[in-house]
Chain A
Amino acid sequence: MTFDYDKPVNNIDLLKTYAEKVQQIETEKKDSEEQED
């Protein structure tokens, strides 16, 4: 039998990317709504 060894990961960069991008989506939507108004 063979086995793999996994260590805990640090996905901070990935999480940061999502935090920034989700906020960008929100900002773009607000800007778009303001222009329509």
Chain B
Amino acid sequence: MSREGRKIVLVWGEIEKNEIGMTTLELLNVAQALVRALDGEVHVIFVNPKTEKELCGQAIFFGADTVHVFDMPGRSDLTWETCVAIVQNLVREVSASILLFPHTLTGSQVACQVGFSFGFPVVLDCVQIEIEESSGNLVVTRPVYGGKCYGIYTLLSESAAITLHPKSVSPARKEESKKGKVFFREIREDILQTKVRLVDVIPFEFSGPKLEDADVVVCGGRGIGGTEGFEQLKELALALGNGAVGATRAAVNEGWASQEKLIGISGKTVAPKLYIGVALSGACQHIIGMKGSKIVVAVNKDPEAPIFRFAHYGVVEDYKRFLPAFLQTIRSRPEKGGENDGR
């Protein structure tokens, strides 16, 4: 499938809302840079995409040379173990040597299992993936110590399985003139893995927009003190125009907010236009999940709270006093800054 001796970079593809997913576009950007340095080809794999499978072919416009779509109609209970087996087969078939995954749960799970099975080095959550010109080695940068610092690593192998931290690089640009090949393939019964069986799926209760996509994020921390405080944050998020509420690890551990609201190293990464951090200290583990935000506002009664070092605007005030006043101010201007903001 590939010309002799060319390096194959394999990207794990995902579909979101009937489009090639943002994480996939970010990976394709990295993959294109790698194949330019290595004289290689970019392959993308989609497993059981929840969409018209023809849509996956659009990955070609974003830099894929070959797209493989594996499908098993009527089966929505495939576990990651089966995904691992499918990727393993494809890696052998096309001799892929660099495997790129998004740093999502499934992404890291498949990356680890496939990577280890081939003896590839496995590195997760990278913010930068490059080829060192002098040596031709892969060099990756990733957060360590909960984001307090970053480590730069050289991979002493021509192969690797790597996950990319969301929103660390820009997405690949679309070029409709690009050409490539698309293969549609059925997932064979005999590849289904049985050591793990999916019994049931329980969705989290949802209200409002998804955290990762929201233009406004209001996040609460340990100082919020309880679930009532989070109701107040929700009110503010709605008043600011369909914003989403997030939480720090401390607040999730207290049970004031559910896991899917967690922003930070073990949760989600957000990069909204406006982020408001309320009664949270600003631990590195959290900062790493919100540092891409355009405007950061911090509300905390402790002027020494580290979050102020990452905020454009700081309000030293008890949130219980400040938020009602702020809500009233926003609501008293229903024209939403209409007269002179030039939008």
A and B pair up: no
Chain A residues at the B interface, C-beta cutoff of 8 Å = none
